[in-house]
Amino acid sequence: MLHFDEIVFGPIFSRRLGSSMGVNLLPSKGKLCNFDCVYCECGWNKDGVGDKMFPELEDIEKALEEKMSKAAAEGVAVDSITFSGNGEPTMHPDFPQVIDVTLRLRDRYFPDAKVSVLSNATLVGRKRIADALMRVDNPILKIDASTDELIKKINKPVGAYRLADIIDSLKGFEGRFILQTMFLKSPDFNTVAHDDLERWMDIVRELKPREVMVYTIDRETPDKSLAKYSVEEMRSMVQPLIDEGFKVQIRG
Ligand code: SF4
């Protein structure tokens, strides 16, 4: 499984993001997330090694400063600074402060780089988290299914989760976010069966994200019974949204 040992890693080249520096705000040795998605590339929560220590704000700042100043001095390009890593970044207790430090260092060393946060959106109901997400260039927020029942099967929330509350909170973004949705199926569920797909498209219409990213399973996932969709299948499913003028990125 994929694990990130460093707080700041890369830059690595990605077709989508260009030269991307990654930031992992989660414990270095195992995964920490309030979801336990069937497709998680970091494995399942129960298989984590129990390291629950978040890195300290000052260590994050130090790691960012070191990496960025070194890359700048060596003339290495950085197009993107992306928060992902071993779990859910907004769970870090100092997440808003981390974002402010990152934006300040980005402005100093790589003013053209875009700051992106990949989040499962579970904490957008907390104002300080929503405000911080709205300060970055690309808040990439996950809604994988259109009912709580399906979300329980796919994302397996740890603790309370109500999709209606998440949608309500996301309305406050007034479209200034990127919605990310995984299309997948297994013998037990299909995230885009007819009614589910219709309901999901209605959520998109209600929230009007500035972009929608639709993708399917890619790398090794812990549940071997999962099946992916082809790019062509996904394109035909989201075609109504494209026709309505939504910007939809499809990744196979
Ligand atoms: S939200 Fe992300 S990190 Fe958390 S379980 Fe799902 S895929 Fe893994």
| CATH code that applies to domain 8-251 | 3.20.20.70
| Omega within 30 of 0 (cis) for the link into 11 | yes
The residue count of the chain comes to 252
Q: Which residues contact 225 (CB under 8 A, 6 or more apart)?
A: 186, 187, 188
d(CA 58, CA 125): 26
Q: What is the pLDDT of residue 252?
A: 84
Q: Which of 251, 252, 238 is nearest to 209 (CA)?
A: 238
Report the predicted TM-score, pTM, of the whole model to 2 decimal places: 0.94
Q: Among 3, 32, 33, which is best to mutate for testing ligand 1, by the most ligand atoms less than 8 A from CB?
A: 33
3-state secondary structure of 89: helix
Q: Among 42, 151, 216, 220, which is best to mutate for testing ligand 1, by the most ligand atoms less than 8 A from CB?
A: 42
Name the more confident of 6 and 150: 150
d(CA 135, CA 243): 30
Tokens describing residue 141 = 């927020």
Measured from the CA of 120, which atom of ligand 1 is nearest? 1
Please tell me the residue having the least CA distance from ligand 1 atom 8.
40
Segment 6-60, tens digit of pLDDT:
899 989 887 777 899 999 998 877 788 999 998 888 877 776 655 667 899 999 9
Q: Which residues contact 230 (CB under 8 A, 6 or more apart)?
A: 252
Measured from the CA of 33, which atom of ligand 1 is nearest? 4
Segment 174-214, tens digit of pLDDT:
999 999 999 999 998 999 998 999 999 999 999 999 999 99
Enter the DSSP assignment of 155. T
Tokens describing residue 80 = 């993107």
Domain residue limits, the chain: 8-251
The string of DSSP letters for 24-91 reads: E-S-SSS-B-S---TT-TT--GGGS----PPPPHHHHHHHHHHHHHHHHHTT----EEEEESSB-GGG
Residue 70 CA, ligand 1 centroid: distance in Å: 31
* Mean pLDDT computed over 236-240: 98
Q: In the structure, which protein residues have their CB atom closer than 6 angstroms to any atom of ligand 1?
A: 33, 35-37, 40, 42, 87-88, 120
Measured from the CA of 34, which atom of ligand 1 is nearest? 4
1-5, 103-107, 115-119, 220-224: least confident range: 1-5
Whether residue 21 contacts residue 78, with contact meaning beta carbons closer than 8 Å, is answered with yes
C-alpha distances in Å from residue 130, one per residue of 124, 141, 243: 5, 11, 30
pLDDT grade, residue 1 (50/70/90)? Answer: very low
